[in-house]
Structure 1
């Protein structure tokens, strides 16, 4: 399908979304939000897609929201925009593992989109921030919540309340990103990670992701019960039998996602 603000492609079991508003530093507008949701929807239940990459750059992954749309917006408009089914939550709730490949600015809603992904690989020129406080608002797409869970309350308050940017090295130091690479190696590194993920048993990956995400905010006993149920249910899959058999036979497993 052809889109106005994004490009999509498949590379074996990997689905790649490229943000494509370079003249606007990939600022997030309604069209881009809707197109990302549509693109993700098209592969959500596709057994052939085992990992997803969202990439932008080189100057900006996504430089926040298109602020021109904020001037006349009402509180009701914003509640609907960031309500159920929004791009950030939809990304976070994808069953497949997701990777944000970040070059240049990842600010505001762009930083929140990166945080909605399971992994973040940053180019050396990446800049992160939640600058919403500087225009009289606060993050509205998970910035106060996902950021806190990723880096802790102290650093989250610093970034949200001061509204200042940090570079890739600081983002790595505080646990916001998984790895830093040269700009010209970003796409290749993201694909390498995605293909590694694609080689794992898809149902196992899906349940492990769900157990981590759902258990993070639960009492430990409840969270371990979720883990145990997911673990036990995997013994009903063909992939579990293949994995165990391949281990015994000292060969590489061939997972089918069944």
Structure 2
């Protein structure tokens, strides 16, 4: 891949955007992200960290907008990145976006596809598309409202302002603000990678899918996840370890 670096450290995949100087999200980069997320879906990978430096991703590649106007490819601009974010969101394992510098526009949309967002102290996030006369198109309106509520999401999207890390933490966009964001993300990813991966995936699906459904249907999704996790080898190990008063050794199976 030209714009994405995919490496592994045991059961943890590190996906690093590499399109200097600001990791502008071109359609080619979006396609490579989809490829990297698909690679991380294998059972041997049990947690994922996505990052970029010096900026996570400062937004879409605006130069492609003019070509899209002329070619009538407006839908592709949104669907390519939106599809990549959806692939990330659906990974049945813990995922962390380690954000340095700017995560703006599509950059924030990408980060919101992860389960958790860790920000460096100098990070800035936002959805500034309105300043170009457009709106977020890769999930920004939907995921931001689900994270922080519709009213506050409207304020951020209507203003297009950049949100500093400490405010992002207060709003609920960020889960942690730390000096060395990649180190913190990798440390937590390795902790989760040694956990019950089947149960993580089942819980994630119940939360993500269930909250979009009426209560009774959401409860049905939860029961399906409970049965799936209960039938896993890790569930047997967890119960046996509890009864034997020893730490559990989970294998992700």
TM bin, normalised by shorter chain, reads over 0.9
> Residues of 2 paired with 1:228 and 1:76: CA distance?
45
Q: Distance in 1 between matches of 2:154 and 2:108?
A: 15
- Answer whether contact 2:46 2:252 (CA < 8 A) is retained: no
The match for 2:120 among 111, 120, 123 is: 123
Shift of 1:81: 3.5
The number of equivalent residue pairs is 251
Q: Per-residue CA shift, 1:157-190, capped at 9, x if unaligned?
A: 01111111110000000100100001xx111100
Distance (Å, rounded) in 2 between the aligned partners of 1:159 and 1:152: 11
SS at match of 2:68: coil
Per the alignment, residue 50 of structure 2 pairs with 54
| Cα offset, 1:83, TM superposition | 2.9
Q: Is 1:197 the counterpart of 2:192 in the alignment? A: yes
Runs of 4+ aligned residues of structure 1 deviating over 3 Å after TM superposition are none
Q: Does 1:233 align with 2:228?
A: yes
SS at match of 1:26: coil
Out of 8, 12, 22, the position equivalent to 1:14 is: 12
Partner of 2:32: 35
Q: TM-score, normalised by structure 1?
A: 0.93
How far apart are the structure 1 equivalents of 2:53 and 2:200? 28
- Secondary structure of 1:18's counterpart equals strand
| Deviation per residue, 1:4-39 (Å, 9 max, x gap) | 11212111110001111232x011001211111111
Checking the alignment, whether the CA contact within 8 Å between 2:11 and 2:190 is kept in structure 1 is yes
Q: Does 1:82 align with 2:78?
A: yes
SS in 2 for 1:71: helix
Distance 1:256 1:141 in 2: 35
Aligned to 1:244: 239
| 1:171 correspondence with 2:168 | yes
Q: For the residues of structure 2 that align with 1:130 and 1:68, how far apart are their CA atoms?
A: 18
Q: Secondary structure at the match of 1:16?
A: strand
How far is 1:76 from its partner? 4.6
Q: Which residue of 1 aligns with 2:59?
A: 64
Q: Distance in 2 between matches of 1:156 and 1:164?
A: 11
**Counterpart-to-counterpart distance in 2, 1:120 and 1:42:** 21
Q: Which runs of 5+ in 2 are unaligned?
A: none
Report whether the alignment pairs 1:137 with 2:134: yes
User: How far is 1:78 from its partner?
Assistant: 2.2
TM-score by length of 2: 0.95
CA contact (8 A) 2:122 2:165 kept: yes
- Give CA deviations for 1:59-93 in whole Å, capped at 9, x if unaligned: x1100000000013148512134337721111111
Give a deviation string over 1:103-159, Cα, whole Å, max 9, x none: 000000000000011100000000011000000100000010000000001110011
* Distance in 1 between residues matched to 2:249 and 2:78, nearest whole Å: 41
